[in-house]
């Protein structure tokens, strides 16, 4: 396991954690009092002692960490704390100090910037190009991340959004100026304003909530009173949200980030804060429908500092990768001179970069990808599939009057005429034309998107109906062979290597009861009723590019798992994920249900997209495909849990077991609705 050490250095407390770099899981953590103000050498010594104690107690060696990252309050630049009032420091070379004590590489950032970095990499901004984070605490902190890199300005003072002026000559701020956002939208400001209004309204419920002791007022007090309908509290909250909306709208109008997230204790108020805030920000800020900054609550709260700090070394890795990407680009027949390369997209398998070139005063964009050989053992065969399918799609799209430059992926050849480049290090790279004017969604935000995705994947099947699927290579053997997945599960049941079998017997018996069903699709194929087709094998929403203007599907992407298979599997995988009422790892199974309405919407779109290319056997097996893919996925999660969680990434104990349970709950729901599922297919198949 690759892990790093994150240090969250505050004026009151020092928190340290060992963090898994693959999924941002905190493996072990601890804290000590900062006891500021005191000498930096003394604080650094205590930090190192805490790191060594955690290492000793947990078995994670300090020297085994990739690096140490430190998030600290104050102004930071080039490894130096330029000024930190709550620590009593000025011009402290903290990175050098800790590096000398540990013999390790140490990275340093402002704490709000580090929190923003955590959100950008693994939180609500994962996969997005730009993120702004506001932390509402004692003050208002800010952080900006652009293309995977913290933006702190030439002097380290950037992102001090708490000190933008929203009311000239207004309330006095702790910085000495008047009218700062911090004086209106921090937790401190909310407490002060609550106390002021309470004195005007002696009958306010806020008095009752604090036992008539104004010193006990917190930022939560007015929200609790407002929920009870207290007029005074409602006015406090209304003013607070108005002022916060002014500040956020200014930030959006200036940066237009993909995501703006709000952290700090106040963010825990959820909908009571976010619903009116989003409404006001929408009215105050610029943007077009479906192309607006997403305003949301931060994912990480108390752990944001540790996680963000631990990831700081990734910025240096990104710089190295971007330099490599620019050199690799020289092997492809692209137009113009490379002027920029940045990490791109939200994929977890391949390394992807957006390459920008300058051509005759304008720009062209390309997508460069390094194929993950740990996942795809035969990248040369993968690329043969990729090239054959995209060439076929381009011809069909052109023949029907479409735009093959936008409606399918287009490979750029190397100077040697190959579809990929193999570097001296043995890495496989490919270059694609960037699909201009497109966007993608990470999850279904409204039912129409689910329908449109069904049309897109159905059309994908139609365009490839005359492609000889048997000529493609099976790059991941038995990927959707459910009987084979069942055998793997039984082998793990027999081994029980981690002693987990006793707690999952109900799930094992659930799978055993469906052993005969697991072979249904293979029997249908053997009988000639289920044809072999070109299948995508990862039919989720974010593998479709939508047009920015029309919000209609443009292009199906992520073709690495293109293989021979069954159309009903592609259909079923979409239903498994998209027609569920809960998250894939939901622990409360009462929230997990099969949404027959969403199922019908997808059936309608998929059949419309496929035209008349599906056979009677395929149409009859569509509901079976939905159950099969859900059962297979549950079996895979259960197998991995018994094997010690080695395949699927997890961020908490028993996550794979929870995933298995949600899938099996959906299987039960689908089985109970099987007759209705068939009726719905028949309804649209006859149109």
pLDDT of the residue at 345:
63
pLDDT of the residue at 436:
86
Q: What's the CATH code of the domain at 415?
A: 3.30.200.20
Contact 166, 179 (CB under 8 A): yes
Q: Across residues 514-532, what is the average pLDDT?
A: 96
Residues 251 and 317 in one domain: no
Q: Considering 436, 465, 493, which residue would you say is the last residue of a domain?
A: 436
Query: Using one digit for the tens of pLDDT, what is the confidence trace for 566-605?
Result: 999 999 999 998 899 988 889 999 999 999 999 999 999 9
Domain count, the chain: 4
Residue 348's pLDDT band, with cuts at 50, 70 and 90, is: very low
Least confident of 202-206, 353-357, 415-419, 483-487: 353-357
Residue 1 resides in a domain: yes
Residue 308 resides in a domain: no
CA distance 117 to 204: 41
Beta bridge partners of 414: 332
**Coarse DSSP helix, strand, coil percentages of the chain, rounded to the nearest 5 percent:** 45, 20, 35
Mean confidence (pLDDT) of the chain: 91
Residue 339's pLDDT band, with cuts at 50, 70 and 90, is: confident
What are the b/e assignments for 385-416, b being 16+ CB within 10 Å?
A: bbbbbbebbbebbeeeebebebbbbbbbebee
Residues 140 and 83 in one domain: no
Which position has the higher pLDDT, 265 or 202?
Answer: 202
Residue 339 in tokens: 């002027």
pLDDT at 346 over 60: no
Query: Using one digit for the tens of pLDDT, what is the confidence trace for 620-643?
Result: 999 999 999 999 999 999 999 999
CA distance 171 to 174: 10
Sheet holding 75-77, edge to edge: 75-77, 80-84, 89-92
Q: Across residues 283-290, what is the average pLDDT?
A: 82
pLDDT of the residue at 241:
97
Residue 673 resides in a domain: yes
Residue 322 resides in a domain: yes
Sheet holding 294-297, edge to edge: 149-150, 140-146, 130-136, 259-263, 294-297
Q: Considering 303, 323, 340, which residue would you say is the last residue of a domain?
A: 303
Residues 54 and 9 in one domain: yes
Residue 286 in tokens: 């610029």
Residues 347 and 454 in one domain: no
CA distance 98 to 115: 21
Contact 248, 134 (CB under 8 A): yes
Residue 121 resides in a domain: no
Residues 206 and 226 in one domain: yes
DSSP for 317-365, written as a single string: HHHHHHHHHHHHHTTB--SSEEEEEEE-S--SSSEEEEEEEEETTEEEE
pLDDT of the residue at 549:
86
Query: Using one digit for the tens of pLDDT, what is the confidence trace for 165-180?
Result: 999 999 999 888 999 9
Q: Considering 404, 436, 468, which residue would you say is the last residue of a domain?
A: 436
**Contacts with 366 (C-beta within 8 Å, 6 or more apart), sequence order:** 329, 332, 334, 354, 355, 357, 412, 431, 432, 433, 434
Cis omega (within 30 of 0) for bond into 257:
no
Q: What's the CATH code of the domain at 260?
A: 3.30.420.40
CA distance 616 to 622: 10
Range of the domain at 250: 126-303
Residues 672 and 590 in one domain: yes
pLDDT at 243 over 90: yes
Residue 54's nearest CA partner among 25, 81, 26, 89 is 26
In the chain, the N- to C-terminal Cα span, in Å, equals: 54
Residues 422 and 446 in one domain: no
Residue 118 resides in a domain: no
Residues 358 and 497 in one domain: no
Kindly state the DSSP code that residue 145 receives in the 8-state scheme: E
pLDDT of the residue at 372:
82
CA distance 519 to 303: 46
pLDDT of the residue at 288:
75
Residues 173 and 288 in one domain: yes
Residues 62 and 199 in one domain: no
Residue 503 resides in a domain: yes
Q: What's the CATH code of the domain at 657?
A: 3.90.1200.10
Query: What are the two backbone dihedrals, phi and then psi, of residue 159, each rounded to the nearest 5 degrees?
Result: 70, 20
Query: Using one digit for the tens of pLDDT, what is the confidence trace for 116-164?
Result: 999 988 888 876 778 999 999 888 989 999 877 889 888 888 888 999 9
Residues 493 and 564 in one domain: yes
Q: Across residues 308-325, what is the average pLDDT?
A: 79
pLDDT of the residue at 321:
63
Within a 13 Å sphere around the CA of 587, how many CA atoms are in the beta-carbon half?
A: 4
Rg of the chain over Cα atoms, rounded to whole angstroms, equals 28
pLDDT at 349 over 70: no
pLDDT of the residue at 384:
96
Query: Using one digit for the tens of pLDDT, what is the confidence trace for 43-91?
Result: 999 999 999 999 999 989 998 999 999 999 888 998 999 998 889 999 9
Q: Beta strand 3-9 with 68-72: parallel, antiparallel or unpaired? A: parallel
Query: Using one digit for the tens of pLDDT, what is the confidence trace for 391-412?
Result: 999 999 999 999 999 999 999 9
Q: What percent of the chain has pLDDT over 70?
A: 97
Query: Using one digit for the tens of pLDDT, what is the confidence trace for 9-27?
Result: 988 899 999 999 878 889 9
Strands (E), 67-189: 68-72, 75-77, 80-84, 89-92, 106-110, 130-136, 140-146, 149-150
Residues 132 and 63 in one domain: no
Residue 638 resides in a domain: yes
């Amino acid at each position: 396991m690759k892990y790093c050490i994150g240090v969250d250095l505050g004026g009151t407390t020092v928190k340290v954690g060992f963090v898994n770099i693959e999924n941002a899981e905190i493996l072990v953590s601890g804290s000590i009092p900062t006891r500021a103000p005191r000498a930096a050498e003394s604080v650094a010594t205590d930090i190192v002692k805490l790191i060594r104690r955690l290492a000793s107690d947990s078995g994670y060696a300090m020297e085994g960490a990739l690096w140490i990252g430190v998030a600290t309050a104050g102004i930071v630049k080039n490894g130096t704390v330029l000024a930190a009032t709550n620590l009593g420091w000025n011009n402290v070379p903290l990175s050098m100090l800790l590096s000398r004590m540990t013999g390790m590489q140490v990275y340093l950032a402002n704490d709000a910037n580090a929190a923003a970095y955590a959100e950008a990499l693994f939180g609500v901004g994962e996969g997005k190009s730009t993120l702004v984070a506001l932390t509402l605490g004692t003050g208002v902190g800010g952080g900006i991340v652009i293309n995977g890199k913290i933006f702190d300005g030439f002097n380290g003072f950037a992102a001090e959004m708490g000190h933008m002026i929203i009311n000239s000559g207004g309330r006095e701020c702790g910085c000495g100026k008047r009218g700062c956002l911090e004086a209106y939208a921090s937790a401190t400001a909310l407490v002060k304003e609550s106390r002021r209004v309470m004195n005007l309204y002696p009958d306010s419920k806020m008095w009752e909530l604090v036992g008539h002791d104004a010193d006990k007022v917190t930022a939560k007090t007015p929200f609790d009173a407002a929920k009870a309908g207290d007029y005074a509290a409602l006015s406090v909250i209304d003013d607070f949200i108005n002022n916060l909306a002014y500040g956020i709208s200014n930030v959006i109008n200036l940066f237009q980030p993909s995501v703006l997230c709000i952290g700090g204790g106040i963010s825990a108020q959820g909908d009571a804060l976010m619903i009116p805030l989003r409404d006001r920000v929408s009215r105050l800020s610029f943007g077009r429908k479906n192309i607006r900054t997403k305003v949301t609550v931060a994912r990480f709260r108390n752990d944001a500092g540790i996680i963000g700090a631990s990831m700081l070394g990734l910025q240096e890795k990104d710089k190295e990768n971007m330099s490599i990407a620019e050199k690799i680009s020289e092997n492809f027949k692209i137009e113009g001179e490379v002027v920029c390369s940045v990490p791109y997209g939200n994929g977890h398998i391949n390394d992807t970069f957006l390459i920008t070139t300058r051509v005759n005063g304008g720009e062209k964009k390309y997508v460069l990808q390094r194929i993950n050989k740990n996942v795809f053992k035969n990248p040369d065969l993968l690329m043969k599939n990729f090239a054959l399918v995209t060439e076929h799609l381009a011809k069909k799209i052109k023949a029907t009057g479409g735009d093959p430059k936008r409606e399918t992926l287009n490979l750029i050849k190397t100077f040697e005429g190959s579809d990929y480049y193999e570097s001296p290090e043995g890495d496989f790279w490919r270059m694609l034309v960037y699909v201009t004017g497109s966007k993608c969604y990470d999850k279904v935000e409204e039912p129409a998107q689910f329908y449109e995705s069904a049309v897109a994947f159905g059309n994908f099947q139609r365009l490839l109906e005359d492609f000889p699927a048997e000529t493609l290579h099976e790059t991941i053997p038995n990927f959707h062979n459910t009987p084979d997945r069942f055998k793997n599960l039984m082998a793990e049941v027999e081994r029980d290597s981690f002693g987990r079998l006793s707690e999952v017997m109900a799930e094992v018996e659930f799978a055993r009861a469906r052993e005969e069903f697991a072979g249904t699709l293979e029997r249908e194929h053997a009988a000639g009723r289920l044809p072999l087709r070109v299948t995508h094998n990862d039919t989720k929403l974010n593998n479709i590019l939508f047009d920015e203007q029309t919000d209609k599907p443009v292009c199906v992407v992520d073709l690495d798992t293109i293989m021979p298979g069954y159309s009903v599997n592609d259909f079923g995988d979409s239903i498994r994920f998209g027609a569920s009422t809960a998250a894939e790892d939901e622990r409360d199974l009462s929230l997990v249900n099969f949404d027959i309405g969403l199922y019908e919407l997808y059936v309608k779109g998929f059949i419309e997209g496929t035209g008349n290319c599906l056979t009677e056997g395929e149409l009859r097996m569509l509901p079976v495909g939905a159950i099969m893919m859900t059962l297979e996925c549950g079996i895979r999660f259960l197998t991995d849990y018994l094997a010690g969680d080695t395949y699927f990434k997890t961020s908490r104990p028993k996550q794979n077991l929870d995933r298995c349970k949600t899938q099996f709950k959906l299987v039960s729901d689908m089985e109970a609705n099987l007759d209705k599922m068939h009726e719905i297919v028949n309804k649209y198949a006859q149109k």
